[in-house]
């Protein structure tokens, strides 16, 4: 069956460190993968999109990698800040259903 | 430019009732998608509309329906509400007719069924 897995346990790190979140998928052949941030009680906010032919993408303190062999994407936040505390969701395109399928998200807590 | 707006923000209904939720996409956006978010199931795709046409529907019962108007505004309806329908319902819009576009989400409607 198709699955998108993100670490369900919260990730706690110290301010200034690099946070690394993982998104693994099975039985998908996504053309691209997106990452979103969601704060409590609010809708997700788009962060980055990476295509299957791209290995890495950066935006300010954010970096995403995409390994189609491992079927995995890593999301990094460097020099993390307490304001980065949120739930981070990965999503990939299910071409058969014409829908973005989301992982369950990983909650990141950055301690000052 | 105003973001995606959803009304109402909060709603309490009783089992068996029906409910209609509204979504106004960002001006110029023609694609609207709806999602249900619950703690147990996460974000699940409900349906997607483009130019008033439903292009795809998720794995939800027929009690869940939607439509899109000529101004791209969209509504979703849930009939015969069940306790399990309690969730945050999110609407997202995107600019082009391609799923590669980033989705702009609204704040959601929190539906509680008692």
Cβ pair B33:A103 closer than 8 A = no
Hey, CA dihedral for B98, B99, B103, B109, is it positive or negative? positive
User: Within 10 Å of residue B42's Cβ, how many Cβ atoms?
Assistant: 18
pLDDT band (50, 70, 90) for residue A28: confident
- Measured between beta carbons, which residues in chain B are less than 8 angstroms from residue A32? 100
Among A36, A43, A100, the residue with its CB nearest the CB of B107 is: A43
Query: Residue B58 is encoded by which pair of tokens?
Result: 């998720």
**Which residues, other chains included, contact B91 with Cβ-Cβ below 8 Å and sequence gap of 6+?**
B4, B6, B21, B23, B25, B32, B33, B34, B35, B74, B76, B105, B106, B108
Measure the CA–CA gap between B61 and B59, rounded to whole angstroms. 7
Closest to B43 (Cβ–Cβ): which among A31, A89, A97? A89
Position B36 scores a pLDDT of 97
**Band (B95; pLDDT cuts 50, 70, 90):** confident
Residue of A nearest to B59 (CA): A97
Q: What is the mean pLDDT of residues A58-75?
A: 95
User: Measured between beta carbons, which residues in chain B are less than 8 angstroms from residue A93?
Assistant: 99-100
Chain A residue with Cα closest to B32? A99
Across the interface, which of A43, A49, A102 has its CB nearest the CB of B102?
A49
Task: Give the residue-averaged pLDDT of A32-52.
Answer: 93
Report the pLDDT averaged over residues B71-100: 92
Three-state secondary structure call for residue B84: helix
Can you tell me the distance from the alpha carbon of A34 to that of A52, in angstroms, rounded to the nearest whole number? 11
In a mutagenesis test of the B interface, which of A86, A99, A104 is the best target, namely the one with the most B β-carbons within 10 Å? A99
- The answer, yes or no, to whether residue A1 has pLDDT greater than 80, is no
**CA dihedral (A53, A55, A59, A64) positive or negative:** positive
Nearest-Cα distance to chain B for A15, in Å, is: 27
Please state the three-class secondary structure of B7-66 as a single string: ECCEEEECCCCCEEEEEECCCCCCEEEEEEEECCCEEEEEEEEECCEEEEECCCCCCEEE
Q: What is the pLDDT of residues A71-98, one digit of tens each?
A: 999 999 999 999 999 999 999 987 666 7
């Amino acid at each position: 069956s198709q699955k998108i897995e993100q670490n369900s346990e919260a990730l706690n790190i110290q301010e200034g460190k690099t946070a690394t979140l993982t998104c693994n998928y099975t039985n998908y052949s996504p053309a691209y993968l997106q990452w979103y941030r969601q704060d409590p009680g609010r809708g997700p906010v788009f962060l980055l999109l990476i295509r299957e032919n791209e290995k890495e993408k950066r935006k300010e303190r954010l970096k995403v990698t995409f390994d189609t062999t491992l079927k995995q994407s890593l999301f990094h936040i460097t020099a993390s800040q307490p304001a980065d505390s949120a739930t981070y969701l990965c999503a990939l395109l299910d071409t058969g259903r014409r829908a973005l399928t989301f992982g369950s998200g990983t909650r990141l807590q950055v301690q000052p | 430019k105003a973001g995606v707006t959803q009304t109402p923000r909060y709603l309490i209904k009783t089992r068996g009732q029906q409910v209609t939720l509204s979504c106004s996409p960002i001006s110029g956006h023609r694609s609207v998608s709806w999602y249900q978010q619950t703690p147990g199931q996460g974000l699940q795709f409900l349906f997607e509309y483009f130019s008033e046409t439903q292009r795809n529907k998720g794995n939800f019962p027929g009690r869940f329906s939607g439509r899109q108007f000529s101004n791209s505004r969209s509504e979703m309806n849930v009939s015969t509400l069940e306790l399990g329908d309690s969730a945050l319902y999110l609407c997202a819009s995107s600019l082009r007719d391609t799923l590669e576009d980033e989705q702009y989400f609204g704040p959601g409607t929190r539906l509680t069924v008692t």
